[in-house]
Structure 1
Amino acid sequence: MELVLALGIGFLVSSGVWLILRPRTYQVIIGLSLLSYAVNLFIFSMGRLVVDRPPVLPGAGTVDPAAYADPLPQALVLTAIVIGFATTALFLVVLLAARGLTGTDHVDGREPER
């Protein structure tokens, strides 16, 4: 399971970096989104990879913390998802405004000469 998660994070990071280096602004926005998904998966994996274990400790008695998932990374990822969605929406509005003003969607603002 750890290998699959590490490969998934690596694939998202490599795809995101490749898209960020593209000349069109929409591809840059999608690359930033993929990088944010990779960071979210990385933060989520810091809470231990456990299956069928509750995330919250019971109130009474002594407890073995190794038997429970850490709820803090889960809360951080939920917050990051909301912030990432709002940032992507802002980037898309700026993309549409810049395309309307310049007439192109290239990052540097001009079409390449042929």
Structure 2
Amino acid sequence: MILAVTVGVLVAGGTYLLLSRSMVRSVFGIAVLSHAANFVLLAAGVPAWRSEPLSDTTDPALMGDPLPMAFVLTAIVITLAVTVVMLTFAVLGHNDDTHKTPATGETHV
């Protein structure tokens, strides 16, 4: 129940940030949404009541599924790379709230 509420809060917060006008807030919204997806993948592996996935001392029926854990690890690395690239674009980009008139070159806010 706590994990489902956590995923719901992260999805709601990530969607709110993603829909904002600022590029940096949108990047953070994507990062928060990816954390919610990671929680969903971890919940699929059911690590709470199962034991370590790759040990010889555990019955195979009681082992946790290592595939969702590998997916989450891969997703964390990809999210970090995408976040860094998008934050770089946000820093190098221009301010969306200002624009120049093509004819006169004046800046309007």
TM-score (norm 1): 0.78
Alignment partner of 2:76 out of 69, 74, 81: 81
- 2:87 corresponds to which residue? 92
| Structure 1 runs (4+) greater than 3 angstroms displaced | none
C-alpha RMSD of the superposition: 2.2
Partner of 2:2: 4
TM superposition shift of 1:50: 2.2
The percentage of aligned residue pairs carrying the same residue is: 30
Deviation at 1:17, TM superposition (A): 0.2
Identify the residue that residue 31 of structure 1 maps to in structure 2: 29
Partners of 1:21 and 1:52 lie apart in 2 by 38
Shift of residue 49, structure 1, vs aligned partner: 3.9
- Structure 1 gap ranges (5+): none
Which of 9, 14, 17 is equivalent to 1:16? 14
Structure with the greater alpha carbon radius of gyration:
2
Secondary structure at the aligned position of 1:46 is classed as: helix
Distance 1:43 1:52, change over 3 A: closer
TM (norm. structure 2) is: 0.81
* Displacement after TM superposition at 1:51 (Å): 4.1
Answer whether contact 2:51 2:63 (CA < 8 A) is retained: yes
Unpaired runs of at least 5, structure 2: 99-107
Q: 1:70 aligns with which of 65, 71, 85?
A: 65
Residue pair 2:50, 2:63 contacting (<8 A) in 1 also: no
Structure 1 distance, partners of 2:48, 2:21, is 41
1:110 equivalenced with 2:108 (yes/no): no
The corresponding residue for 2:54 is 56
